[in-house]
Structure 1
Amino acid sequence: MIEIEIESDAWTVALPDAGAVVERAATAGLGSVEGGLVVLLTDDATVRDLNTRFRGKDRPTNVLSFPGGDMPMPGQPLHLGDIVLAFETCRAEAEAQGKSLANHLTHLVVHGVLHLLGRDHEDETEAEAMEAEERTLLASLGVADPYSLPDDH
């Protein structure tokens, strides 16, 4: 089950189908994995607060992933975790990279889901593997390689 919470109206003003974009990206990222997740579309201030409290970094970031517990509640599917996205940062990145907000949001949701599934990018080998998986998933959704430079097209 994918629960989408839109806390900042800026998301739906800029991207009226933001919920559908998130649902599609999260579903692709999960593939055949069973479990639930929550995706929160919020603002920079909220993400900055979370980033400060949980990661010790006093600044907003585009996406945060918070893994869920290892044990499901009786009668409930395993909660894989929560993904939180900051509107202002995501919009600014999309503009700076010449991407649509929908495609950038798709990428970041897929990225966040992969983190919840245990993927990481702490070293070069992990980063290459995670980016390759993202590219494959995004291509299946019709989204261009987010890691290619604009001149690579």
Structure 2
Amino acid sequence: MANPQIPRGMCPLISAYSGGDIGGVMETPVEGGSPRTALEYDGGVQPFTVTLPLTPEKYHIWTLFYHRIIKKGSKPFDMMIDSGDGAELHTCFMVVKSYSMVRNQQHSFVTFTVNVQPSAYKRSIEDAQAEIDLWNDGLSNYGALFAGLDKYINHDVNVLGVISGP
């Protein structure tokens, strides 16, 4: 059975969006030297604190979703989160006792922390290194890359014999 998805029109404020450490690294103190670090586990979840700005109507729907559907955050749900690849749908697990709500005259601001698996773990180590190598080889400027491709396709290799520009 699929996880319930956060109701339509409810998305976190980008300015009030923060992520935390994923963990999995341990440190052992060494007398007279730098501590030694070791990988305890690879993968895991990362905490993200999100704030939802809600109109009175949206707050009503959120309250129904929170209390009746995800049972005060005890059940996982799907929400758009940017964990490194832009906003994507992630399965979210609400952190216990992280929920708060502040209301002003027009809006309610619901804040909570969720744990999600970062999108970086969808890639193998080899694929991740290949992307980093592309970045390091100067392809970090995608605008220039696409402009070059546009010139090549539309001007340099004019397959149809139609001139698209001056």
Name the TM-score class by shorter chain.
under 0.3
Q: Which structure: larger Rg?
A: 2
Query: Quick check: which one's helix share is greater?
Result: 1
**Structure 1 length-normalised TM:** 0.22
